[in-house]
Amino acid sequence: MTERKKVLLRLDPAVHEALARWAADELRSTNAQIEFLLRRALNDAGRMPRDAARMRRPGRPPKEGSEE
């Protein structure tokens, strides 16, 4: 599995709070919600790279060595 990139993102506190509430409504973390929205924007703009990995399914990642 490819290591995921880490990005420092500065947001207006009100925007962050709105994103956090939206993420909770969709049962996602705030980070996953931001990635979901960025991917949707890339798709809509026709800029999603063909080799981009799929988003991880919701929930905890599988334990190392277990099959999914």
What's the pTM value of the predicted model, to 2 decimals?
Answer: 0.75
Does residue 35 lie within any of the structural domains? yes
The DSSP element (H or E) to which 48 belongs, if any, is: none
Catalogue the E-assigned strands of the chain.
none
What is the rounded radius of gyration, in angstroms, for the C-alpha atoms of the chain? 14
Q: What pLDDT tens digit does each residue of the chain (68 aa) get?
A: 678 899 999 999 999 999 999 999 999 999 999 999 999 999 999 999 999 988 877 666 677 766 55
Q: How many domains does the chain have?
A: 1
Does residue 6 lie within any of the structural domains? no
H-helix segments, 1-68: 13-25, 30-44
Domain that holds residue 18: 13-44
- Say which residue the tokens 């509430």 belong to: 21
